[in-house]
């Protein structure tokens, strides 16, 4: 049952699948964006968990403790921050496109939007 | 000569700075800045290429001169420099040749947006080509995606934004998979730089640990990048994205945006995971089969299109299949054939899209109905028009309606715009693989790479599919070419093309013939570059 003790990793895997499926299968644009965010966040959870070692602190020297074993590696946290910036900008772009499409077609359903748009072109 | 090692870094920075400067400039000035920046990048890449070829070496550049575990790295060898040179040259030609369409498709006050996106795309492509760090690669994958998405939606019609959102969805699925793949690789090996990961993967391979997770990582990264570059089962976004953006951006998208990912994939195979581990897994076989199916299905779909832009978009699907099929062969010859085909496609597709724009500009004019004009005027697409500030004009939609890419409308265009039709002819010769043009030599090297494989099934599969897809390609390209030179009952008013359009397309034709004639040298450089990857 050692497998079950890794509940953070399991949670992030489950979240990843949920997000991925929502992004792929949902027809609603807002739900797609939510799915994308869940997917990315699950990866950040995974990175953060893997980067944390129990009992150690963030690598900011306090009280003069300079031993390496007192601190965690800052790179995973740095990666999470970079990743968050990336997903925020992508989310903003997706939301702006959704706004424009909603203003034009008054619906968030991607299938319907495509049908309307095809009608317009032809 | 040490100074030359800064050039790859400079070229990425010049592209990004150019994009930033463009954001505060007006249309025409932005065009010149973008042109100048890309020209500088081309010269920088060319001199690095010459340097690496003369010294037959590759080098690793420490960003900010911080050594390995702390700093970020750039690696430049012959393959990278050649790709960067080719990419920057193509972007330069597209900016020049497509300037007229850029001016037409965007509002005067917003023309600089196009050049911001071009700068971002150039920077992201160069970074994908040069980077030696996986997480940097991920960040630039996303920047590339955002820039490409901008290119699709710049026309701001409903359909183009809807296809941009479709493109974005597929792309995000792909980059999600790449991200989790890189994360897993990082947790297994503890490194992000390619060489360090490679060393620890070798050690893991020797001790036999983590076999399944590594296989998962290879699969995730491959599938992710395949989705993003539009390999067959994931190609749904390609036709809409290429055919609903305006000519300049279709040229950039089809020629370049998806090629950066393919190059990155090859680099990851060689420099991160190692060919032996890749060959040991069966991922390459799957890539190979998907490539074969794409070669056929892309061509079959292209046959059924009555819009020449959609036809060319499906042709891209089939050519992406060619490239992935070559990668799937798993040999060094296969990889260099894949890269040669990548260059050939990158040089030919933008040329075709620009030529098609010229052809469409002389197609019979369809007047908009009064209803459509009314619709165009009250276009609710622009949020600004609702707030009352600056009205999004009807120009885009009106102008677009004049240019028809429909098969029935291009009849006789070869007489009305001889230059554009000639360019299309050269492009289709190259795509089909007539000797003298780039397509022939790349297909020749693909066939030669296929003879080098050990398995007979792979050899026959490649040969048969190559023949079949070439025949199909002849079918749909020559159908259009014949149509172009038929007599039509339209009045013969020869269209005068702008000098820069003629200049850029002539250079495209010259480059095509150059690749066709001197492919031996290119393959030599690529092969020695790929040897140095390992």
Helices and strands, number each (H, E), in chain B: 25, 2
B135 contacts chain A (CB < 8 A) = yes
Q: Report the mean per-residue pLDDT for chain B.
A: 86
Which pLDDT score is estimated for B398?
46
Is residue A67's pLDDT more than 90?
A: no
Could you give the percent of chain B with pLDDT greater than 90?
47
Angle between helix B519-533 and helix B438-451 axes, rounded to 10 deg: 50
Q: What is the rounded average pLDDT of the residues B419-423?
A: 91
Q: What is the rounded average pLDDT of the residues B178-199?
A: 90
B152 contacts chain A (CB < 8 A) = no
* Residue that wins the pLDDT comparison between B21 and A52: B21
Domain containing residue A14? 2-121
The domain tally of chain A equals 1
Which pLDDT tens digit goes with each residue over B317-365? 999 999 999 999 888 888 999 999 999 999 999 999 999 988 888 877 6
Which pLDDT score is estimated for B367?
58
Is residue B125's pLDDT more than 90?
A: yes
Q: What is the rounded average pLDDT of the residues B251-263?
A: 91
Give chain B positions within 8 Å (CB) of A89.
142, 146
Distance CA B119, CA B114 (A): 9
Could you give the percent of chain B with pLDDT greater than 70?
92
B57-66, B74-83, B375-384: which has the highest mean pLDDT?
B74-83
Option in B164, B173, B183 nearest A47 (CB)? B183
B306 contacts chain A (CB < 8 A) = no
DSSP, collapsed to helix, strand or coil, labels residue B60 as strand
Which pLDDT score is estimated for B376?
55
Which pLDDT score is estimated for B383?
41
Is residue B92's pLDDT more than 50?
A: yes
Would you kindly state where each structural domain of chain B is located, as residue ranges? 1-130, 154-276, 282-379+395-534
Of B271, B259, B315, B320, which is closest to residue B122 (Cα–Cα)?
B259
Shortest Cα distance from B184 to chain A (angstroms)?
Answer: 9
Is residue B127's pLDDT more than 70?
A: yes
Is residue B373's pLDDT more than 80?
A: no
- With bands split at pLDDT 50, 70 and 90, how would you rate the model's confidence at A122? low
Secondary structure of B247-274 as H, E, C letters: HHHHHHHHHHHCHHHHHHHHHHHHHHHC
Is residue B396's pLDDT more than 70?
A: no
Judge: A79–B186 Cβ closer than 8 Å, yes or no: yes
Token couple for B141: 């994958």
Token couple for B276: 């032996």
Distance CA B146, CA B121 (A): 9
Which pLDDT score is estimated for A104?
86
**What ipTM is given for this predicted complex?**
0.93
Of A49, A44, A48, A51, which is closest to residue A84 (Cα–Cα)?
A44
Q: What chain B residue is nearest to A119 in terms of C-alpha separation?
A: B159
Which pLDDT score is estimated for A85?
92
Of B387, B382, B163, which is closest to residue B253 (Cα–Cα)?
B163
Option in A83, A90, A99 nearest B172 (CB)? A90
| Distances, alpha carbon B43 to alpha carbons B37, B38, B57, B85, in Å | 10, 9, 19, 8
Is residue B473's pLDDT more than 70?
A: yes
CATH number at residue A7: 1.10.287.3510
Which pLDDT tens digit goes with each residue over B132-145? 999 999 999 999 99
B147, B258 in Cβ contact below 8 A?
no
Measured in degrees and rounded to the nearest 5, phi and psi for residue B231 equal: -70, 160
Judge: B176–A40 Cβ closer than 8 Å, yes or no: yes
């Amino acid at each position: 049952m050692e497998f079950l003790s890794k509940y953070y990793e399991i949670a992030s895997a489950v979240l990843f699948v949920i997000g991925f499926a929502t992004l792929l299968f949902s027809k609603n644009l807002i739900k797609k964006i939510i799915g994308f965010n869940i997917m990315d966040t699950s990866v950040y959870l995974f990175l953060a968990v893997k980067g944390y070692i129990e009992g150690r602190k963030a690598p900011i020297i306090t009280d003069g403790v300079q031993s390496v074993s007192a601190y965690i590696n800052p790179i995973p946290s740095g990666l999470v921050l970079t990743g968050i910036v990336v997903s925020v900008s992508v989310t903003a772009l997706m939301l702006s496109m959704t706004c424009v499409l909603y203003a034009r077609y008054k619906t968030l359903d991607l299938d319907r939007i495509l049908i309307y748009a095809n009608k317009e072109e032809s | 000569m040490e100074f030359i090692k800064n050039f790859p870094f400079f070229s990425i920075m010049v592209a990004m700075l150019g994009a930033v400067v463009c954001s505060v400039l007006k249309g025409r000035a932005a065009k010149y800045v973008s042109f100048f920046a890309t020209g500088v990048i081309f010269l920088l890449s060319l001199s690095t290429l010459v340097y690496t070829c003369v010294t037959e070496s590759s080098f690793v550049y420490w960003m900010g001169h911080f050594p390995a575990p702390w700093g970020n790295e750039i690696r430049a060898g012959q393959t990278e420099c050649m790709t960067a040179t080719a990419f920057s040259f193509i972007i330069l030609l597209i900016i020049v040749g497509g300037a007229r369409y850029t001016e037409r498709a965007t509002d005067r006050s917003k023309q600089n947006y196009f050049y911001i996106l071009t700068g971002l795309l150039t920077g992201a492509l160069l970074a994908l080509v040069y980077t030696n760090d996986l997480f940097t690669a991920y960040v630039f994958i996303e920047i590339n995606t955002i820039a490409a998405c901008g290119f699709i939606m710049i026309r701001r019609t409903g359909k183009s934004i809807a296809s941009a959102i479709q493109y974005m969805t597929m792309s995000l699925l792909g980059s999600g998979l790449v991200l989790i793949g890189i994360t897993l690789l990082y947790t297994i090996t503890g490194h992000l730089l390619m060489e360090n990961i490679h060393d620890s993967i070798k050690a893991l391979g020797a001790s036999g640990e983590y076999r399944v997770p590594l296989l998962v990582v290879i699969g995730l990264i491959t599938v992710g990048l395949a989705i993003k570059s539009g390999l067959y089962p994931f190609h749904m976004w390609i036709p809409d994205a290429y055919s609903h953006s305006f000519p300049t951006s279709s040229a950039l998208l089809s020629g370049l945006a998806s090629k950066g990912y393919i190059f990155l994939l090859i680099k990851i195979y060689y420099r991160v995971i190692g060919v032996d581990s890749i060959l040991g897994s069966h991922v390459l076989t799957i890539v190979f089969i998907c490539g074969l199916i794409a070669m056929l299905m892309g061509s079959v779909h292209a046959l059924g299109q009555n819009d020449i832009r959609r036809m060319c978009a499906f042709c891209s699907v089939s050519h992406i299949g060619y490239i992935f099929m070559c990668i799937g062969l798993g040999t060094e010859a296969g990889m260099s054939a894949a890269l040669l085909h990548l260059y050939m496609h990158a040089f030919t597709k933008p040329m075709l899209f620009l030529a098609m724009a010229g052809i469409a500009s002389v197609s019979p004019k369809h007047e908009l109905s009064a209803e459509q004009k009314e619709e165009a005027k009250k276009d609710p697409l622009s949020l600004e028009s609702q707030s009352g500030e600056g009205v999004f004009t009807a120009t885009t939609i009106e102008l677009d309606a004049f240019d028809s890419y429909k098969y029935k409308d291009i009849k006789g265009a070869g007489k009305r715009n001889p230059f554009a039709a000639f360019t299309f002819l050269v492009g289709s010769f190259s795509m089909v693989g007539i000797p003298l043009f780039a397509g022939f030599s790349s297909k020749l090297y693909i066939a030669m790479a296929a003879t080098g494989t050990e398995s007979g099934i792979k050899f026959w599969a490649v040969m048969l599919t190559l023949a079949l897809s070439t025949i199909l390609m002849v079918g749909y390209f020559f159908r259009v070419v014949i149509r172009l030179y038929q007599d039509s009952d339209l009045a013969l008013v020869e269209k005068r093309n702008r000098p820069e359009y003629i200049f850029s397309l002539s250079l495209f034709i010259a480059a095509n013939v150059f690749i066709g004639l001197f492919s031996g040298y290119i393959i030599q450089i690529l092969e020695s570059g790929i040897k140095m990857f390992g």
